[in-house]
Chains A and B, each alone.
Chain A
Amino acid sequence: MSGVLDPRTSPPFPIVAKTMLGDSQLRKNVRHATDVIQTKRARVVGEMPDWQALREAGRQIRSHTMENLDFYLEELERNCTRAGGVVHWARDAEEARQIVVALVKESGSDEVIKIKSMTTEEIHLNPALEAAGIHPYETDLAELIIQLGEDWPSHIVVPALHKNRQQIREIFQKKMNLPELGERPQDLADAARMFLREKFLRVKTGLSGANFLIAETGGVCIIESEGNGRMCLTLPETLITVAGIDKVLPRYQDLEVVLQLVPRSATGERMNPYNSIWTGVNAKDGPRNFHVVLMDNARTEILADEEARQTLNCVRCGACQNACPVYRQTGGHAYGSVYAGPIGAILTPQLQEMHHAQSLPYASSLCGACYEVCPVKINIPEVLIHLRNKVVEQKGVSAEALAMKMMGMVFMSERRFRAAQRMGRMAEVPLVRKDGQGVGWIGWLPGMLGGWTQVRDLQEMPKETFRDWWEKRGKDGK
């Protein structure tokens, strides 16, 4: 694999974005996929007369959970333990990886079947398993495409949406040794079924993420489509679930809200094909050993930030990615993290203590499309602006900061503002070229502002400001 998506080593967003913009096939694939999901989402959301009430309830449930997170985590642990599960706590990624590797070894297996889990991607679990001599098999069709293609996920819900059927066929032909494989989606899905079924029936240890952990019952809920999740959750002898501490839901009843919000937002389905809910272990149904790893990994730092803590309310539906005009141009890899798109732009820097990820809060035009579709009403633009402020404070003195400071002073005085308007008119003179109609245009700007004139002109400043006109008009007696 050409590495993992790691915000600590990934180049800044604008640099990777530029490369992605040059990949017309990728852009076409991303555009097609996001268009399809958006259209489906709009249709099934439109069917719900109480959608806004559901969003509001979702927001309140998630906020309430975060305010009482310690209570609910302890309640979850008690109930899960009572039902025969074992709960583990991990302060950070390293601790989580150690716990999981030790549990897999304890299970006596050197293979694990995995149902897609963003959390295990976040902590780069697969390389750690491989280093310990354990082979992980991704079983979600998209994750399988990524794993066999030695690629990176680019979307929370549809991680391989940047690949089209021809590209997927090539990967499968090579890695599954199926030279005759057709390129109809049905052919490709059948190949994945054949390839994985043997593993489902054989491998004794399963590894999953969680959509929700239910404090009231100690249960876990997983939402999926293909049935690979059910295979991993049901057939192995040992099941290990890795989840961020933010995944808790207070009550079983709260599922009535999230099970309406998530499927419609994520894939545009009224309900996704499968939801599994299980609690601890059941002597006659499913794994005999069940472990839950509750991981912090900087989530408590996000919780401590009054203005950014709503980030934790995220239910990982990916709706913001599909709606985002920036994501739709670049796809997910530009974000340098498994969490791409608007939610990634706010989550990733915070998971990294604001290091290594400074360009992400600026990877947005603040158009607000993400907020509009978020099923739990996370005000992503507001958090982006808050994080930009943190970046500015961290960066200290810079040319941009000096210019901003100066502009700030200008706006605090009418006299200085007028002087700046005059100065602007003088400063632009050497840059202005007249066009055929005698209108002046600027086609080149220096320094940072040069980004503007790459593809855009700028009309010269008018000779008279509005306030000059207004004053003259007053004097003229009108």
Chain B
Amino acid sequence: MRVSLFITCYNDTLFPETGKAVVRVLERLGHTVEFPSGQTCCGQMHWNTGYQAEALPLVARFVEQFRNAEAVVVPSSSCVAMMRDHYPKMAAELKDERLMAEVEALLPRVFEFSEFLTKRLGLEDVGAYYPHRVTYHASCHGLRNLELGDGPMRLLRAVRGIELVPLEGLEQCCGFGGTFAVKNADVSSAMLAEKTTAVLNTDAEACTACDNSCLMHIQGGLHRQRTGVKTVHLAEILAGDEVGR
């Protein structure tokens, strides 16, 4: 299959390893990866903070970049949730009927990375090897908006060498919430403290998720406490193989 990668603005800038891992997994599975170079941001930060005027033009931009894609893969559940939950009404708000039709036609082809593997390709075992003790955090958007269910866990269970440990309060928000972490830093910190405590209680070497935004937040707390526990995107675990590392 010809797969178009929407890397998302923050993965592009801050977490290129995640993008590389997605490419490695998809190519290992025999797919062709494309990267439309005009892509930037889905508009989530603007939209969720209340800056709708700035977010609206990004809908057309996304459609323009990906309208011909066979499938769009996005290693971020919150960005996919942004598109699925809001793009149709954003296009309607712009009163642009063509855009509305294009959004409607494109969205069914847009997948979060783990969702693409489990739901679109029907896979669980992607031939990964990752000999480490790992715990999984269910990000809110993946859990509630995309309803990923146990998809990510099924992928992880099929990884060779991995030792999976359950995370207490798996479904509790880590407290990131985009600008929430800055505007309500104290509450966000209290939520984070619970999450890092839960992670440390697992004795895992790494905490994984389908969203680098949550992971950046959890990692920020874990590093400040000098815990030595790292965070790693699900794609990077699935990219691991016995040849590679």
**A326 to chain B: closest CB distance in Å?**
6
Residues of B within 8 A of A48 (CB): none
Contact between A467 and B12, CB atoms less than 8 A apart: yes
Q: Which residues of B contact A325 (CB under 8 A)?
A: 172-173, 175, 191
- Asked if A133 is an interface residue, CB under 8 A from chain B, the answer is no
Contact A443 B46 (CB under 8 A): no
How far in angstroms is the closest Cβ of chain A from B38?
Answer: 5
A391 to chain B, nearest CB (A): 6
CB–CB A456/B192 < 8 A: yes
Within 8 Å of chain B (Cβ to Cβ): is A185?
Answer: no
> A470's contact among B35, B38, B175, B184, by CB below 8 Å, is which?
B35
Q: Is B7 among interface residues, defined by CB-CB distance under 8 A?
A: yes
The CA-CA distance from A258 to B20 in the complex, in Å, is 51
> How far in angstroms is the closest Cβ of chain A from B65?
10
Across the interface, do A329 and B191 meet the contact criterion of CB distance under 8 Å? yes
Q: Is B245 an interface residue (CB 8 A)?
A: no
Q: Is B49 an interface residue (CB 8 A)?
A: yes
Query: How far does the alpha carbon of A364 sit from the alpha carbon of B58 in the complex, in Å?
Result: 24
Contact A362 to B217, CB < 8 A, known contacts A372-B144, A385-B48 = no
Interface status of B162 (Cβ within 8 A of chain A): no
**Residues on A with beta carbons closer than 8 Å to the beta carbon of B43:** 411
Per-position binary interface string of chain B over residues 137-151, scored 1 when its CB falls under 8 Å from any chain A CB and 0 otherwise: 000110011000000
0/1 interface trace, chain B 162-193, chain A, CB 8 Å (1 if under) = 00000000011101111111111111111111
Name the residue among B9, B12, B185, B217 with the largest chain A CB count within 10 angstroms: B185
Closest approach, in angstroms, between the C-beta of A69 and any C-beta of chain B? 24
When the two chains form their complex, are residues A367 and B181 in contact, meaning their CB atoms are under 8 A apart?
Answer: no
The answer to whether the Cβ of A82 comes within 8 Å of any Cβ in the partner chain is no
Q: Which of B40, B45, B220 contacts A456 (CB 8 A)?
A: B220
Quote the shortest CB–CB distance from A79 to chain B (angstroms).
39
- Bound CA–CA A214/B85 (angstroms): 35
- Do the beta carbons of A365 and B177 come within 8 Å of each other? yes
Q: Mark A1-30, 1 if CB is under 8 A from B, else 0.
A: 000000000000110011001000000000
Q: Are A391 and B177 interface neighbours, CB within 8 A?
A: no
- Is the Cβ of A412 less than 8 Å from the Cβ of B61? yes
Contacts of B16 in A (CB 8 A): 462, 464-466, 468-469
Chain B residues whose CB sits within 8 angstroms of the CB of A365 once the complex forms: 140, 173, 175-178, 180-181, 188, 191
Query: B131 at the A/B interface (Cβ < 8 Å)?
Result: no
Whether B11 is near chain A, meaning CB under 8 Å from some CB there, is yes
Query: Is residue A459 contacting chain B, with contact meaning CB distance below 8 A?
Result: yes
Tell me whether B9 and A417 are in contact (CB under 8 A): yes
Asked if B98 lies at the interface with its beta carbon under 8 angstroms from chain A, I say no
Q: How far is the CB of A406 from chain B (nearest CB, A)?
A: 9
Q: Are B38 and A364 in contact (CB under 8 A)?
A: no
Q: Which residue of B lies closest to A406 (CB)?
A: B54
Contact residues of A: prevailing secondary structure:
helix
Minimum Cβ distance to chain B for residue A261 (Å): 19
Q: Give the distance in Å from the alpha carbon of A405 to the alpha carbon of B13 in the complex.
A: 19
A366 with B178: CB separation less than 8 A = yes
A385→B55 CA distance, assembly (Å): 12
Q: How far is the CA of A412 from the CA of B223 in the complex (A)?
A: 34
Known contacts A14-B187, A459-B223; A466 and B11 CB within 8 A of each other: yes
Q: Identify which of B47, B53, B192 gathers the most chain A CB atoms within 10 Å of its CB.
A: B53
The docked-state distance in angstroms from the alpha carbon of A372 to that of B140 is 11
Binary A-proximity of B50-72 (CB < 8 A = 1, otherwise 0): 11111101100100000000000
A250 CB → nearest B CB, Å: 28
- Residues of A close to B18: CB separation below 8 A: 466
Closest A residue to B27 using CB positions: A478
Q: How far is the CA of A455 from the CA of B190 in the complex (A)?
A: 10
Is B187's CB under 8 angstroms from A408's CB?
Answer: no
Q: Cβ of B51: which chain A residues have Cβ within 8 Å of it?
A: 389, 392, 401, 404-405, 408
- The interface of chain A, by Cβ under 8 A from chain B, is 13-14, 17-18, 21, 325-326, 329-330, 361-369, 371-372, 382, 385, 387-392, 401, 404-405, 407-408, 410-414, 417, 421, 424, 441, 443, 448-452, 454-459, 461-462, 464-471
13 A-B contacts (beta carbon < 8 Å): A18-B186, A326-B184, A363-B184, A366-B178, A366-B180, A389-B52, A443-B224, A450-B185, A452-B220, A454-B185, A455-B224, A466-B19, A469-B19
Given contacts A452-B181, A456-B221, 20 further A-B contacts (CB under 8 A): A21-B187, A362-B184, A365-B191, A366-B177, A368-B141, A369-B140, A369-B144, A408-B53, A408-B55, A411-B9, A411-B58, A414-B39, A443-B224, A450-B185, A451-B182, A451-B183, A451-B184, A458-B216, A461-B13, A465-B16
